Structure 1
Amino acid sequence: MHLQKDEIEKLERTYKLNLINSLSGVKPANLIGTKSKDGKDNVAIFSSVVHLGSSPAQLAFIMRPQSEIPRDTYPNILETEFYTINHVSESFIEKAHYTSAKLKKGESEFDRMKLEKEFIAGFHAPFVKDSPVKIGMKHLESIPLPNGCLFVIGSVEMLVLPDEAINNLGQLDLQHSSGIGISGLNTYYGLTRLASFPYVREEEIPDFE
């Protein structure tokens, strides 16, 4: 397949949607949990969480354009400032996927998809209990993107993860925690650790053939 821009734009809508969404490869699968000021819980799957920096620790994710009737995740973040990022593991892929459904405002995906929530150390937003890696976040800033989406930036306020999944260098073993990834909108992949290489210094680059 070899497509020029004008040919891409002429593709059938669903075909083009699936193709373009899968071009970036496997992305992390995370559930973002929020709670409104009046105590209504919400959780939704996202594949756009990215690392911004380690000192201070910051992560970001992309929020779709907000319609006249926005869904609960972003309004809850704006209201309360707090949200959670929870890694999706193999044991609850299907439940996590269906949180992408457009439910009625105020209806909890935790309840509808039978995902157990938990509150940890007084943190405002709910965590997904079965998630092996739980991250408590505080909203810092949202940057508008050219396509109408929002780049939502937050600071890492809390980490809850298994000690045995961390090596002596502080690296998280995603295979140990049965982490998964998403390609496109609805295809999920297991993660297998293939190799680990040292920090690269020019004088240590091997002689590749």
Structure 2
Amino acid sequence: MTDSYRTKLINSLSGFKSANLIGTINKQGQTNLAIFSSVVHLGASPALIGFITRPHTVTRHTLENIKQTKQFTINQVNKDIWRSAHQTSARYDADQCEFQHTGLTPIFIDEVNAPFVKESLLKYALTLEEIVPVAANNTQLVIGKVTNIICEPHAIRKDGYIDIESLETVSISGLDSYHVTERLSRLSYAKKDKLPEDLSIDGDRLSKQ
């Protein structure tokens, strides 16, 4: 296989992935914004989220900024901003602001130095907990602890479930294909001696499958 073909093929194997913009800032006050499809839930208590950053063969502005300030934000990509979000993957120089080049808007809140994306409807701030080297391919798993969540109130259901589909959140397949979703159902907790039940969007049980 050619390198290009292999890259596209292998990046498609894992299926749909989350589309998120990671916002950071360096000690000089220069902001950075980059799209990532490797964000993953690691635990709820404590609330830990991680993402994979590529090998450090070139300067990784996101990683370097997080090392400096110990803070970053994760901003879900929605149907209104996916083109702008994709543009952040361009190789801008460290002194160039992706917000300015993509038309996205940085916002800040007290006690969080890193910028949020105003146009994102679900976003959260994290403090750096750990950076874990992955020896197999020289990538790094960056782990953060969630400190602040900003979400449209209507999307948070009474049982705590966040209805990201109502926020028109998009996903990624491969490197460059963007998708909207269609919910099939929510299902009750699986038990070996009981068939799952459909749940309403608010978590109420409706019927057995």
TM-score exceeds 0.5: yes
Counterparts of 1:81 and 1:191 in 2: how far apart (Å)? 33
- Letter of the 1:75 counterpart: E
Which of 7, 29, 33 is residue 23 of structure 2 equivalent to? 33
After TM superposition, list the pairs within 5 Å mapping 1:126-141 onto structure 2: 126-141=115-130
What is the Cα-based RMSD across aligned positions, in Å?
1.5
The answer as to whether partners of 1:174 and 1:191 remain within 8 angstroms in 2 is no
Tell me the TM-score normalized by structure 1.
Answer: 0.91
- Letter of the 1:116 counterpart: T
1:46 aligns to what? Answer: 36
After TM superposition, list the pairs within 5 Å mapping 1:52-201 onto structure 2: 52-67=42-57, 69-145=58-134, 146-201=136-191
- Letter of the 1:140 counterpart: E
Q: Number of aligned pairs?
A: 197
1:4 aligns to what? Answer: none
Structure 1 runs, 4 residues or longer, greater than 3 Å off: none
Counterparts of 1:205 and 1:195 in 2: how far apart (Å)? 14
Structure 1: which 5+ runs fail to align? 1-10
Shift of residue 122, structure 1, vs aligned partner: 3.5
Structure 2: which 5+ runs fail to align? 197-209
Counterparts of 1:203 and 1:97 in 2: how far apart (Å)? 45
Shift of residue 23, structure 1, vs aligned partner: 0.5
What percentage of aligned pairs have identical amino acids?
Answer: 42
Q: Quick check: which one's strand share is greater? A: 2
The answer as to whether partners of 1:71 and 1:105 remain within 8 angstroms in 2 is no
Q: Is 1:16 paired with 2:23?
A: no
Bigger mean CA deviation after superposition, 24-33 or 185-194: 185-194
Tell me the TM-score normalized by structure 2.
Answer: 0.91
Shift of residue 105, structure 1, vs aligned partner: 1.7
Counterparts of 2:191 and 2:93 in 1: how far apart (Å)? 53
